[in-house]
Amino acid sequence: MTRTAIIAALPGELKNIVVGWRHERRNGVDLWHHRDDNLYVAACAGAGQAAATRAFAAVEQDAPIDLVFSVGWVGALKPGLATGSAHNVGGVIDARTGERFRCDADSGDLWLVTSPIVAGEDEKQRLAETYAASLVDMEAAAVARLAQMRGIPFYAIKGISDGFSDKLPDFNPFLTPEGRFRMARFTLYALLHPGYWPALVRMGENSKRASLGIASALADFLR
């Protein structure tokens, strides 16, 4: 029996995967459990590599992991990538260290770079030029590193929530040191800056489509 871990940052990234799964919250980590012929555990603890590490540890607390997926929303680093689409990632780069981790899936050809901050338009441009990557997130490198340390297969399925040149607010001031998003504070900020409303609505719609695409791609992969 295989035990599969699915690591994300936010519950919204997992909601189309964990329908009907048993949920618990343990030491600040949300966990969902499912069993059929195999065991599946999904976890999220917030944005960033430290949060992903906590989520991974919470899954491991009960039993060893046989394979692991990093899933969730990403930003596009190229103008031709469709928002709302989901992709099997070919490899992950840690922007802090320069480490590169190849995913075990043969089908992925896009590389993802993990940034320590939420990447805005200027940062996306810099990351694209520096790493020749196509996507950016904040968690996958931590999951890839932990999988490599344990000698278990690592896969990444990511959905694009925001395009390369989208004009979005700076989300970084609304993240806690633990990687939690201060939604109430951000909502107040957004209400006072109506110029961002159209872009935020589009991002919400893109995120919904991306979550569905991630769930579908994961189901196809596991079948």
pLDDT of residue 77 exceeding 70: yes
pLDDT of residue 106 exceeding 70: no
CA atoms within 13 Å, Cβ hemisphere of 71:
33
Report pLDDT for 15: 95
pLDDT band at 26 (very low <50, low <70, confident <90, very high): very high
pLDDT of residue 1 exceeding 90: no
pLDDT of residue 221 exceeding 90: no
Q: Looking at domain 3-222, which of 3.40.710.10, 3.30.450.90, 3.30.2010.10, 3.40.50.1580 is its CATH number? A: 3.40.50.1580
Read off the tokens for 188: 């107040």
Read off the tokens for 88: 């099997």
Phi/psi for 49 (5° steps) reads -70, -35
Could you report how far apart the first and last alpha carbons of the chain are, in Å?
Answer: 15
The CA distance from 182 to 171, in Å, is: 10
Mean pLDDT score, 11-15: 96
Sign of CA dihedral 2, 18, 70, 54: negative
Q: Which residue has the higher pLDDT, 97 or 108?
A: 97
pLDDT of residue 205 exceeding 70: yes
The CA distance from 212 to 170, in Å, is: 26
Phi/psi for 188 (5° steps) reads -60, -45
Yes or no: say if 18 and 31 are a contact pair by the CB < 8 Å rule: no
pLDDT band at 109 (very low <50, low <70, confident <90, very high): confident
Mean pLDDT score, 54-77: 97
Question: pLDDT digit string (tens) for 157-179?
Answer: 999 999 999 999 999 999 999 99
Q: Which residue type is seen at 72?
A: G
pLDDT of residue 67 exceeding 80: yes
pLDDT band at 107 (very low <50, low <70, confident <90, very high): low
Helix (H, G, I), strand (E, B) or coil at 14: helix
Q: Which residue has the higher pLDDT, 221 or 71?
A: 71
Taking the whole predicted model, whether its pTM rises above 0.85 is answered as yes
Question: pLDDT digit string (tens) for 31-53?
Answer: 999 999 899 999 999 999 999 99
Mean pLDDT score, 9-22: 96
Cβ-count burial of 186 within 10 angstroms (0-12 exposed, 13-18 middle, 19+ buried)? middle
